Amino acid sequence: MKKILMIATGGTIACTVSENGLAPALSGNDLLQYVPKLKDICQIDVLEIMNIDSSNISPKHYKMMIEAIEENYNLYDGFVITHGTDTMAYSSSFLSNAIENLSKPVVFTGSQLPMQVDYTDAKDNIYGAFLTASSSYNGVFLVFNNSIHKGSYVKKIYATDFTGFLSINSDTAGKIVNNSIRWNIKHKTYTESVIFNKEICENIFVLKIIPTLKPDIINTLVNMGYKGIIIEGYGAGGVPTSKEKDFIPALKNAIEKGVSIVCNTQCLYNGVHLDKYPMGVLAEKSGAISAKNMTLENTLAKLMIGLGKNMDNKALKKYMENA
């Protein structure tokens, strides 16, 4: 049987009722007691590194997850990370990029209802996660509602519905049907040694373009010390270029001062196409980088890592666009 390490971080799945609402309280071992059939598919050890609401997850917690995997990498066949749903796509995107040449499965899961609640989705999600972690497929995955998502292509779409997550601009990695996996991806192999990247740039701002926004905000962010700005533009991902509200000069100024500008889109599907309209063409000519088909979560993860490696704009462009 495969040997799997469960890394518990808290989230709704571990919640019980408190005077201020649901709060994480159950341990990883507590959670496993509710899914006894897990003993039939793998051996499990538990490592509790935190027990918090995922709204409180920050980059320091990403490092804790990475270090937990790094320190135990040679001792286990796979890893399951139980996590709150609200920021799970951010964490799965980060680990997808931070761990290179990953030759084992790292599987995130959580639930929309606490483990102890009637009709909870927690039991099925945990079972699916351990089933995936016990497979021969390597990579970072997020398992929810019998769907196996690639960790860097997933987004939380539903606040309460058991579907929870969807894969964006990508097919799901697989489905769990009758307690077995139907994979949609090919098995990968790596000959290089695994690399754990833990140098992170946190000085990144996400700026959503709205009709009332003025270009001066870019200069303000530069003066505040941000090293990267992700712009959520309309449609194909450009920025306003009208005479009254031209963002191009502010973008050029930011880039000249060493700030990286990445254009994403507010649309869920089809990605960024900076070559389609003047708004995008002019932004790209100014030095802005396209997020291509990446989710916001994945764009943020890659930018944090790229700037953490002190990449210049040319190297960063190549890294960001090689999704």
Token pair, residue 162, equals 């058991």
Q: What is the DSSP secondary-structure string of 140-187?
A: EEEEETTEEEETTSEEE--SSSTT-EEESSS--SEEEETTEEEE-SPP
Whether the Cβ atoms of residue 240 and residue 247 lie closer than 8 Å to each other: yes
- Burial of residue 41 (CB within 10 Å: 0-12, 13-18, 19+) is middle
Whether the Cβ atoms of residue 57 and residue 87 lie closer than 8 Å to each other: yes
81 φψ region: left (φ > 0), alpha (ψ -120 to 50), beta (else): beta
Give the number of other Cβ atoms within 10 Å of residue 193's Cβ: 8
Q: Based on the residue annotation, tell me whether 12 is a catalytic residue of this protein.
A: yes
Q: What angle do CA 170, 151, 147 make, to 5 degrees?
A: 70
- At residue 308, φ and ψ (nearest 5 deg) are -65, -25
Whether the Cβ atoms of residue 203 and residue 72 lie closer than 8 Å to each other: no
- Burial of residue 275 (CB within 10 Å: 0-12, 13-18, 19+) is exposed
Q: What is the DSSP secondary-structure string of 278-291?
A: HHHHHHHHTT-EE-
* Packing angle, helices 88-98 and 296-308, rounded to 10: 40
State the amino acid at position 139 in one-letter form.
Answer: G
Catalytic residue among 12, 87, 120, 295: 12
Q: Just list the catalytic residues.
A: 12
